[in-house]
Amino acid sequence: MKGLLMQCRMEIIKILRNPYYVFWSLLMPIVFYVIFTRIFNNAFDNDQEWQAHYLMSMTTFSVMGSAIMTLGIRLVEERTQGWSLFMRITPISTSAYFFAKMVGQTVIHILSIIVIFTAGGFINRVTLSPLEWLLSGLWILLASAPFLALGVLFGTMKRVDTVSGVSNLVYLLLALSGGMWMPLEIMPTIVQKIAQWLPSYNFGNGAWQIVRGNGPDVSNVLVLIGYLIIFMVLSSYIRRKQEAAV
Amino acid sequence: MEEVVSIEKATKKFKDKTAVDELSCSIQRGEVVAILGPNGAGKSTTILMMLGLLEPTEGKVEIFRMDPKEKAVREKIGAMLQEVSVIDTLTVKEIIQLFRSYYATPMDFEELVALTGLKKEEMKKRADKLSGGQKRRLGFALALAGDPDLLFFDEPTVGMDITARKRFWDTVKALKEKGKTIIFTTHYLQEADDVAERILLFHKGEVVADGTPHAIKNRLTKQSVSFIENSEVPLDEIRSLAIVSDVYVKNNRVIVVTEQTDDVLAYLFEKRLGVKGIEIEKGRLDEAFEQLTKNKEAI
């Protein structure tokens, strides 16, 4: 138990010291937020709503990024450097180790949400009701599960170069086509149609609905759960195949 | 005697290649055992099986009379493995404390630091910024974190300079004094000769020799008595002695090859042959090593 708590703490410290996390998950979303709400903000009539909407876009963008990239790359690094093997001769179990990673990642997501929400509050005086802040934060935290599963899936790749290339590309494509960078309405119809089925759009849309006083659509929840199951099944299938190969 | 490691007819096959072939051996508490052998002899595979990281295809490997994968076993073992590098952004101190937290009865932090020779300023360094030698010291510290009874070192001194190597083996000797069982592999035969009480020589997945370094050398290498060439010494007479297997002259020295050097010396003095510059040549471990692994059929 002591080991598990310590492991959770160390996982959090590790992520915080990772420059990619600080850059991609904290700095970039805030910079984008300033650019698209303070500098190019003429296109939209309803400023207040746009500012809250885009704050949600950037928070989901951030959390999605650390879930896919930090976790996936880290897992591959640990395996290629023999670290995962080494952990297996210590008394801490593989599942406890994995659990600690998930807890660490979740705490980091909470931190990202608080930092970016606070930044939004200061930069644009985004005003939501306390319930809306709470619900949107909770949504972002819980609905990030499929992306953690995607990170774990990417974590089964053999080489660090491959995983960082693939996860970067998938991350940016998902963010762009899911309407996180710019509203889906200004995108071509074909992208809009595809987006309905992407995890990123469904992730973002839940939060966008909450700040408009609605709740996430049922379809958002269903699509995300679907992806969660697919990613989990795929990664456990691949893991089993890799273990059998030894 | 308490049996710490027992391996019974363990075989490990990788696809169609047999890395370890019906290997049996047993290691008692407090022994310091060196596993020697050429590359591909099955040393690392055997260590990985003892650690429970590889499952034998056939046969049985037990540590403390339990499956190596048992948590109770992992509480009491520690290892330095090849190809494990600490890539963390955590500091040395943080990683050591993290590892100590895994074990029910960890080694005292100060004692651990003193044993591994990590310096104060190194404790605050991030693990991914350490030099090769510092990384090895950290690896050593992690192996000791749980105050284990059984230690595995797979090629521990690769990449260490002479001072570090000496320090490492001194610590190993100190650990032996505390009653720890230590199993290590090395390419440096001198290290096995100096540190180990027992050598297991591996060849093609089997143990081809098992004994003290002294016994292995005696069994496998020739010893000789040599002295400065002297026309008064009757070489033919010496050659005819039952205890002498060969006599020849090399670089102005007479070399008498024998298994009983003491008896040859007694003979030389008894006959008052007036020989000078006597030297006794003991076989070296690398000769034994070479012999064993080159022509195995000879054993």
Tell me which of B251 and A243 has the higher pLDDT: B251
CATH code (residue B8): 3.40.50.300
- Which residue bears the tokens 């590889």? B54
Q: Which range of residues forms the domain containing residue B264?
A: 222-281
- Decide if pLDDT at B299 tops 60: no
Strands B150-154 and B181-185: parallel
B175 exposure class (CB count in 10 Å sphere: 0-12, 13-18, 19+): middle
pLDDT recorded at residue B130: 87
The pLDDT confidence band at residue A246, using thresholds 50, 70 and 90, is low
For the residues A159-175, what does the mean pLDDT come to? 93
A7 in contact with B, Cβ within 8 Å:
yes
The pLDDT confidence band at residue A53, using thresholds 50, 70 and 90, is very high
Estimate the share of chain B in helix, then strand, then coil, as percent rounded to the nearest 5: 35, 30, 35
- Decide if pLDDT at B159 tops 60: yes
The pLDDT confidence band at residue A245, using thresholds 50, 70 and 90, is low
Q: Which of B47, B70, B71, B89 to mutate to test the interface with A (most CBs of A within 10 A)?
A: B89
Q: Are residues B132 and B166 in the same domain?
A: yes
pLDDT recorded at residue B71: 92
Closest residue by Cα to residue B144 from B165, B119, B121, B175: B175
The pLDDT confidence band at residue A41, using thresholds 50, 70 and 90, is low
B84 in contact with A, Cβ within 8 Å:
yes
B67 in contact with A, Cβ within 8 Å:
no
Long-range contacts of B70-75 (CB under 8 A, 24+ apart): B71/A91, B71/A93, B74/A89, B74/A90, B74/A91, B75/A91, B75/B103, B75/B104, B75/B105, B75/B146
Q: Are residues B198 and B103 in the same domain?
A: yes
Q: Last residue of some domain: B191, B217, B243?
A: B217
pLDDT recorded at residue A82: 87
Strands B32-36 and B3-14: unpaired
Q: Are residues B134 and B201 in the same domain?
A: yes
A91-139 pLDDT, tens per residue?
Answer: 998 889 999 999 999 999 999 999 999 999 998 888 889 999 999 999 9
Among A74-78, A202-206, B225-229, the range of highest mean pLDDT? A202-206
Strands B58-63 and B3-14: antiparallel
For the residues B199-205, what does the mean pLDDT come to? 88
In order of A106, B64, B80, B140, the CA distances from B73 in angstroms are: 32, 7, 16, 19
Q: Is residue B272 part of a domain?
A: yes
Q: Are residues B253 and B170 in the same domain?
A: no
Q: Are residues B99 and B13 in the same domain?
A: yes
- Which residue bears the tokens 């089993």? A240
Q: Are residues B102 and B238 in the same domain?
A: no
Q: Are residues B178 and B277 in the same domain?
A: no
- Decide if pLDDT at A71 tops 70: yes
Q: Are residues B208 and B269 in the same domain?
A: no
Estimate the share of chain A in helix, then strand, then coil, as percent rounded to the nearest 5: 80, 0, 20
- Decide if pLDDT at B283 tops 80: no
- Decide if pLDDT at B298 tops 60: no
Q: Which residues contact B297 (CB under 8 A, 6 or more apart)?
A: none
- Do residue A81 and residue B85 have CB atoms under 8 angstroms apart? yes
The pLDDT confidence band at residue B2, using thresholds 50, 70 and 90, is confident
pLDDT recorded at residue A242: 84
pLDDT recorded at residue B95: 93
- Decide if pLDDT at A221 tops 50: yes
Report the C-alpha gap between A200 and B90 in whole angstroms. 32
| Letter string b/e over residues A77-87, b meaning 16 or more CB atoms within 10 A of that residue's CB | bbbbbbbbbbb
Report the C-alpha gap between B110 and B124 in whole angstroms. 15
ipTM of the complex in this document: 0.85
B70 in contact with A, Cβ within 8 Å:
no
Q: Are residues B27 and B65 in the same domain?
A: yes
Q: Which amino acid is at B122?
A: E
CATH code (residue B249): 3.30.70.980
The pLDDT confidence band at residue A45, using thresholds 50, 70 and 90, is low
Q: Is residue B290 part of a domain?
A: no
A108 contact residues in B (CB cutoff 8 A): none
B88 in contact with A, Cβ within 8 Å:
yes
Q: Which of B87, B92, B100 to mutate to test the interface with A (most CBs of A within 10 A)?
A: B87
For chain B, how many structural domains are there in total? 2
- Do residue B84 and residue A88 have CB atoms under 8 angstroms apart? no
- Portion of chain B with pLDDT greater than 90, in percent: 38
Residue B161, both tokens: 């300079």
B105-139 pLDDT, tens per residue?
Answer: 999 999 999 888 888 888 999 988 888 888 888 99
B146 in contact with A, Cβ within 8 Å:
yes
Across the interface, of B84, B90, B102, the residue whose CB is closest to A14 is B90
B140: alpha, beta or left? (left if phi > 0; alpha if psi -120 to 50): alpha
Q: Tell me which DSSP letter residue B66 carries.
A: B
Report the C-alpha gap between B202 and B292 in whole angstroms. 9
Q: Are residues B92 and B169 in the same domain?
A: yes
- Do residue A246 and residue B102 have CB atoms under 8 angstroms apart? no
- Decide if pLDDT at B207 tops 80: yes
Query: Number of CB pairs < 8 Å for A and B?
Result: 66
A241 in contact with B, Cβ within 8 Å:
no
Mean model confidence pLDDT for chain B: 87
Report the C-alpha gap between A16 and A108 in whole angstroms. 8
Q: Are residues B83 and B202 in the same domain?
A: yes
3-state secondary structure of B181: strand
Q: Are residues B9 and B26 in the same domain?
A: yes
- Do residue A89 and residue B74 have CB atoms under 8 angstroms apart? yes
> Alpha helix (H) ranges present in chain B?
43-50, 71-74, 92-102, 109-116, 120-123, 132-144, 162-177, 189-195, 213-220, 235-239, 261-270, 285-294
Q: Is residue B292 part of a domain?
A: no
Residue B80, both tokens: 């330095």
A163: distance to nearest CA of chain B, Å? 17
